[in-house]
Chains A and B, each alone.
Chain A
Amino acid sequence: MTRLMNCPDPSPAAPARRTFFTQAGVGVALLALAPGVRLVDLARARAEDEPVTSANRWGLLIDTDKCQSGCDECVSACNEEHGIVGHGRPETDAQWIRKVDLKDDQTGHELSIPVLCQHCEEPPCVDVCPTGASFRRDDGIVLVDKHICIGCRYCMMACPFQARSFIHEELTGQRTHAPRGKGTVESCTLCVHRVDKGEQPACVEACHREGHDALVFGDLNDAEDQLTKLTRASATRELRPELKLNTSVRYTRF
């Protein structure tokens, strides 16, 4: 019956008030996280009516020494977060992040790495998309605008990492924050709905929960960020460096 019960208050004072509470909420939520997880400073949390800018460049660092072979908690967390359910047809089922087991052809050294959309600075999928449905957000996150995706799959042909999936069947039970449907292409969004709230991607949280901490999320443009400090301190590599895509996902110690 009261105003509060309903959808947003149109009075001009409301947005500022809400923004404040949102930011405060983010701060509290992060403080509540276990120690060891980097805190996103309150100052960097964007107000919900502010557009993203190239001041940030979100990225991920994957420590291959810490990533455990046989562990796929990041994959399950991703599936859970986005409501990705298999249909018992592995060749057509969607996969946004996968564990790839690697074995050095020469030395026999084995390791296991998660592979997901590498959020390239020069994404081939964006170049080839005829309608502009594949795009790179100003903060570096590569997304598919499924409203204008016609399902031609040219981006899947162009992706150097096999990171994209096509939805091969009708879906039901989607999550509110993760719309997905038949006939369009999708891939890792770096949990954009969480990033926009100042939170970490689901895979990063899951890896931390398991005590592995092999995934570190952060802002590659922020010199003070833990991610930037780590990437500066040790040698990292991007997958398929010969293509010079300048990926936002980096791997270290291999």
Chain B
Amino acid sequence: MLHGLTRTVGMIRSFVVLFIFALSGSAGLFADVAKPQIPASRGDQCVEPVEIMRRNHFEFIVHQRDLTVHQGIRTKRHSLAGCIDCHSTKTAAGQYLPVNAEGEFCQTCHTYAAVKIDCFSCHAAVPTEKISQSP
């Protein structure tokens, strides 16, 4: 019974893997995705080492969000507003571009990783007030 189940699951899995490979092979999906071009940010150092941020930024943001919303803790180090403050870029005319616009800081990686961002249906994606001392 258990053996049969394992075999079935195994068969389904190999089928799915084959299917994805066939699909990606024919459409050239893997080859076409360019490495993300990350726009320059203000300041010289992030709040955590870059490798840690790449992998765990959402852990920091979620942790901070619960502290802020439920306990009123408003430290700025891991606040989303702080991220946007440093990582949004300006047009030549001096207008901020939303961090979730195509090619901008958040979106460029999220497009590459195919992960939908759910922050900015509610949160401002450009700095609207002074959070840190970034220029």
Contact = CB atoms under 8 A, between A and B. Distances in A.
| A/B: CB atoms within 8 Å of each other | yes
Interface of A: 1, 3-8, 10, 15, 46, 48-52, 135, 137-139, 143, 145-147, 170-171, 173-177, 179-182, 184, 192, 196-197
| Most chain A CB within a 10 A radius of its CB, from B44, B123, B131 | B123
Contacts of B77: 7-8, 10
A-B CB proximity, top 10 nearest: A6-B43, A181-B122, A51-B71, A179-B122, A52-B72, A181-B121, A8-B77, A176-B128, A179-B123, A48-B74
B129 A175 contact: yes
24 contacts: A5-B133, A6-B44, A6-B133, A6-B134, A7-B47, A7-B85, A7-B134, A8-B76, A10-B77, A51-B71, A52-B72, A135-B70, A145-B69, A146-B122, A170-B121, A174-B123, A175-B128, A176-B81, A176-B131, A177-B81, A179-B122, A180-B122, A182-B121, A197-B74
Contacts of B14: none
B132 interface: yes
Interface string B36-78: 0000001111110000000000000000010101111111110
B63 to A, nearest CB: 12
Contacts of A146: 122
Given A48-B73, A176-B131, A7 B122 contact: no
Nearest to B65: A147
Nearest to B67: A51
Interface of B: 42-47, 65, 67, 69-77, 81-82, 84-86, 121-124, 127-129, 131-135
Contacts of B43: 5-7
Contacts of B72: 46, 51-52, 137, 139, 192, 196
A206 B47 CA distance: 37
A6 B133 CA distance: 6
Contact of B42 (A3, A6, A48, A135): A6
Contacts of B42: 5-6
Given A7-B82, A145-B70, 11 more contacts: A3-B44, A5-B42, A6-B45, A8-B75, A10-B77, A15-B75, A175-B124, A176-B127, A181-B122, A182-B121, A192-B72
A147 B62 CA distance: 10
Contact of A176 (B44, B73, B121, B129): B129
A27 B86 CA distance: 28
Contacts of B132: 6-8
A176 B70 contact: no
A64 B124 CA distance: 36
A196 to B, nearest CB: 5
Given A170-B121, A179-B123, A7 B86 contact: yes
A145 B68 CA distance: 10
B6 to A, nearest CB: 36
A50 to B, nearest CB: 7
B119 to A, nearest CB: 9
Nearest to A135: B70
Contact of A10 (B47, B81, B86, B131): B47
Nearest to A177: B129
| Most chain A CB within a 10 A radius of its CB, from B71, B127, B129 | B71
B124 A176 contact: yes
